[in-house]
């Protein structure tokens, strides 16, 4: 079995399209994971994934890159906050999508910002990920100290409770976010968003997949809506997608 056959099998068995990822990076990651657990062939690994639920989940986690923290790149979140302040002057009922949200740090960060700058507005935050196990952790709202390093003392005291070395997020913030499964490559996109946040995910996809995703994001935004991407994901041809540059990693639908 070669990698192309393995990718085809993953799609058939688990409905995850690995062909959309950059093959060199992806296959290197799969080889690394196999090496860690002493697996030498893709055929052997396929058999393991079929029968071992823990290894299957480890594979999903490894492939979908669940690395996250609250207010990742704090200076960029500050820019987002300033842009949202301007935006809500003309519309304070916001529909927001946090795509590929992992364990929920990103949508909860946005919820805390909105609770401060737009407390009287209706803030509807949808957070999605391909991995249901990760989404269940997000819904739980319990975090390790390593995920809290960018949280200010103000937010920490107001929105978290520390119990047994875990930080539990405030129920009001939890109630602002609705989590559900969504595959950026295979599933349809909702429409009418004021803000779409998708950070540190697109970088792993092939260029043609990136293009398709950006086109769908723009189609899903309201006119004037904002797109916030990761700190390594500048859209150099943003005008081709009908976007205007608001700041380094924030774009507006023209």
Q: Give the pLDDT score at 90.
A: 83
Which pLDDT score, from 0 to 100, does residue 21 have?
86
34/138 same-domain check: no
Same domain for 81 and 201, yes or no, is yes
End residue of a domain, out of 22, 38, 64: 64
Report pLDDT digits (tens) over 108-138. Answer: 999 999 999 999 888 999 999 998 889 999 9
Residues 105 and 222 in one domain: yes
Q: Are 171 and 90 in contact (CB under 8 A)?
A: no
Q: Residue 155 CB: number of other CB atoms within 10 A? A: 20
Q: How many percent of the chain have pLDDT more than 90?
A: 75
58 and 90 both lie in a single domain: no
**Per-residue pLDDT, 109:** 97
Residues 143 and 201 both lie in one domain: yes
Query: Are both 33 and 139 inside the same structural domain?
Result: no
**For residue 65, what pLDDT is reported?**
66
Residues 33 and 133 placed together within one structural domain of the fold: no
Q: Specify the number of domains making up the chain.
A: 2
| Sign for the pseudo-dihedral over CA of 143, 146, 151, 157 | positive
- 142-147 contacts, C-beta under 8 A, 24 or more apart: 142/166, 142/167, 142/168, 142/169, 143/70, 143/103, 143/105, 143/167, 143/168, 143/169, 146/69, 147/68, 147/69, 147/70, 147/103, 147/105
The per-residue pLDDT for 80 is 96
Q: Which residue has better confidence, 55 or 66?
A: 55
- Give the residue from 64, 88, 105 where a domain finishes: 64
Q: Is 217 contained in some domain?
A: yes
The Cα 171–Cα 180 span in angstroms is 18
Check: CB of residue 54 under 8 Å from CB of residue 133.
no
- Pair (56, 118) in one structural domain: no
What pLDDT was estimated at residue 66?
A: 63
Through-space distance between the first and last CA atoms of the chain, rounded to whole angstroms: 47
Domain-embedded: residue 69: no
Q: Are residues 49 and 85 in the same domain?
A: no
With beta carbons less than 8 A apart as the criterion, state whether 43 and 1 touch. Answer: yes
Give me the CATH number covering residue 229: 3.40.50.150
Domain range for 99 is 74-253
pLDDT at site 135: 94
Whole-Å CA distances, 247 to 168, 203, 244: 32, 19, 9
pTM of the model: 0.86
The pLDDT tens digits for 176-229 are 999 999 999 999 999 999 999 999 888 889 999 999 999 999 999 999 999 999
Report yes or no on 225 lying in a domain.
yes
What average pLDDT score do residues 143-150 get? 92
Residue that wins the pLDDT comparison between 231 and 162: 162
Mean pLDDT score across all residues of the chain? 93
Domain end marker among 64, 85, 111:
64
Asked if residue 27 and residue 78 are part of one domain, the reply reads: no
Best-predicted range by mean pLDDT among 3-12, 188-197, 226-235? 188-197
Return the closest-CA partner of residue 125 out of 176, 83, 84.
176
pLDDT for 20 equals 86
227 belongs to a structural domain: yes
Residue from 170, 220, 180, 171 nearest 197 by CA: 220
Q: Which residues of 186-211 are buried (b: 16+ CB within 10 A; e: fewer)?
A: eeebeeebbbbbbbbbbebbeeebbe
Residue 134 lies in a domain: yes
As a whole number of angstroms, the distance between CA 169 and CA 154 comes to 13
Whether residue 152 sits in one domain with residue 43: no
Q: Are residues 39 and 108 in the same domain?
A: no
């Amino acid at each position: 079995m070669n990698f192309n056959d393995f990718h085809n099998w993953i799609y058939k068995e688990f409905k995850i399209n690995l062909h959309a990822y950059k093959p060199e990076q992806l296959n290197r990651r799969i080889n690394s994971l196999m090496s860690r657990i002493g697996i030498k062939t893709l055929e052997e690994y396929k058999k393991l994934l079929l029968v071992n639920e823990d290894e299957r989940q480890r594979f999903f986690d490894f492939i979908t890159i669940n690395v996250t923290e609250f207010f990742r790149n704090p200076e960029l979140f500050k820019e987002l906050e300033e842009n949202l302040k301007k935006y809500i002057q003309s519309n304070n009922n916001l529909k927001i999508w946090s795509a590929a949200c992992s364990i929920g740090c990103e949508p909860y960060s946005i919820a805390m910002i909105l609770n401060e700058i737009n407390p009287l507005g209706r803030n509807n935050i949808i957070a999605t990920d391909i991995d249901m196990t990760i989404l269940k952790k997000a819904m739980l709202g319990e975090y390790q100290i390593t995920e809290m390093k960018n949280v200010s003392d103000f937010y920490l005291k107001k929105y978290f409770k520390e119990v047994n070395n875990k930080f539990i997020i405030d129920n009001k913030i939890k109630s602002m976010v609705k989590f559900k499964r969504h595959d950026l490559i295979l599933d349809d996109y909702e429409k009418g968003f004021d803000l779409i946040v998708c950070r540190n995910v697109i970088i792993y996809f092939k260029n043609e997949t990136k293009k398709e995703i950006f086109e769908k994001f723009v189609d899903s935004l309201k006119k004037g809506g904002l797109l916030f991407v990761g700190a390594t994901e500048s859209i150099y041809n943003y005008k081709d997608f009908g976007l205007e540059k608001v700041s380094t990693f924030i774009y507006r639908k023209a």
